[in-house]
Amino acid sequence: MSEESFPPIKRESRCVIIGAAPIKNYKKIRSFLGNDDFVIVCDGGLNHLRKLKVKPNLIIGDFDSHKNPHSKIETIVLPHEKDDTDSVFALKTALSRGYKDFLFIGMIGARLDHGLGNLYMLVKCQNEGAKALVIDDFSELELVGKEEKSISDKYAYFSLLNITGTARGITIKDALYPLENAEITQEYQYGVSNEVLSGKTALVSVSEGNLLLVKVWK
């Protein structure tokens, strides 16, 4: 398919990238999906399509964990030996096509190496000026920096983790453990398992660097 034949990107459209990590809470995950999403499925992510009730717009993979369906859907076949994982290649492809809003599904599983690699796609998105959210069976994960993020009390817990090396000027308001102009280093991750005060909305920001914000569902 040529560049000219790519489907037009709708205003404020989002790209959903589905990986192969296990999913149990399909009902919850489906609640995040929208009718106008552009859906990219990576290799073993094809196993999730029936239960997610979605149809892909693009399939990408080296097909080492799922057979190539050889359908009429646009498919990019990757070599087995490559620098990019299927997920990273999918993200790069979507960025090259102009998408600036991402939802990642099926990215966190038993393989810690794959999970960490996929989490760092959040950093790639931020550097590209794109929004991004990772969801799994238990939580929502995103980066927080200078732009203040809000956390409602519908979440059981939230954690702030330093994954990029610099996180200073951290402010947390309306939470059980508030902070003002604090620092969290990679070797001392004391921002784990905070709670929003009942009836409140917590506010989090980082003046220098950023943090991984994990919001755990009740």
Asked if pLDDT for residue 84 goes beyond 80, the answer is yes
pLDDT at 80: 82
pLDDT at 68: 83
pLDDT at 1: 41
Asked if pLDDT for residue 3 goes beyond 50, the answer is no
Reported as type and span, the H/E element at residue 132 is: strand 131-135
Angle, helices 86-96/112-119, rounded to nearest 10 degrees: 20
pLDDT at 10: 57
Q: Domains (ranges, CATH) in the chain?
A: 11-137 (3.40.50.10240), 144-217 (2.60.120.320)
What six digits make up the tokens of 127?
Answer: 């550097």
What are phi and psi for residue 32, nearest 5 degrees?
-90, -15
CB 156 within 8 A of CB 218: yes
pLDDT at 2: 40
pLDDT at 7: 58
Mean pLDDT computed over 3-21: 73
Q: What confidence tier does 65 reach under pLDDT thresholds 50, 70, 90?
A: confident
- The average confidence (pLDDT) of the chain is 92
Asked if pLDDT for residue 204 goes beyond 90, the answer is yes
Regarding predicted confidence, which is higher, 137 or 7? 137
Mean pLDDT computed over 38-61: 95
pLDDT digits (tens, 9 = 90+) for 146-201: 999 999 999 999 999 999 998 999 999 999 999 999 999 999 999 999 999 999 99
Mean pLDDT computed over 103-120: 93
pLDDT at 9: 54
What six digits make up the tokens of 176?
Answer: 């059980």
Q: What confidence tier does 82 reach under pLDDT thresholds 50, 70, 90?
A: confident
pLDDT at 79: 86
Give bridge partners of residue 76 from the DSSP assignment: 60
Listing DSSP states for 106-120 in one string gives S--SS-HHHHHHHHT
